[in-house]
Amino acid sequence: MTEKEKMLAGEYYDPLDPQLCKERDEARLLFHKINSLPEDKKEERDQLMYELLGKAGKGLWIEPPIYVDYGKNIHAGENFFMNFGCCILDLAPVTIGDNVMFGPNVQIYTASHPLNAKKRHSGKEFGKPITIGNYVWIGGNATICPGVTLGNGVVVGAGAVVTKSFPDNVFIAGNPARIIKTDINDS
């Protein structure tokens, strides 16, 4: 397997592999261009966003700056809104449903490292995919950790650190995030 294949399979891989370094550099060039375009160039910026992401439905609205590892491993549904300053480390797939909103400075991290110090020092890393359902709202400065799945209709409170998965229609908050309210469709 190539290092990229290992990365996408969630196995330990070498992030300094030349192919992966090249792909990260290409993504950086593209998001730097996106981040530097003035507001009157929004149409060009939007076109570049569709180029950066692996897949995105209609109604994509992303406020720069944005930061990604690869971009191509991010798949967003329709009507996805991302506010200023978000970062997605997408060495594993990040799947975002329809009608999802991110507040400012939301962090999505698929990247992980060994807990054992000697293994961690090897430089090898691995990733775990993140899945975000439909109609999810993630509040500003929230962090979504590797391997998390958020069900449909979830609301994540500002500043939450989400370390585990949650079912549909719950409001979660805190560090680590926990369920604050269930059946939020009645709210």
For residue 99, the SS3 value is: coil
- Round to whole Å and give the CA distance between 112 and 16: 15
Name all contacts of 44-53 with Cβ < 8 Å and 24+ positions apart. 52/27
What values do phi and psi take at 5, rounded to 5?
-60, -40
Q: How far apart are CA 139 and CA 103, in angstroms?
A: 5
Query: Which pairs with CB-CB distance under 8 Å and at least 24 residues apart come from 157-161?
Result: 158/103
Per annotation, catalytic residue among 32, 75, 113, 121 = 113
User: Which of the 8 DSSP states describes residue 87?
Assistant: E
CB 112 within 8 A of CB 92: no
Interatomic CA distance for residues 101 and 161, integer angstroms: 17
The reply to whether 75 belongs to the active site is no
The residues that are catalytic are 113
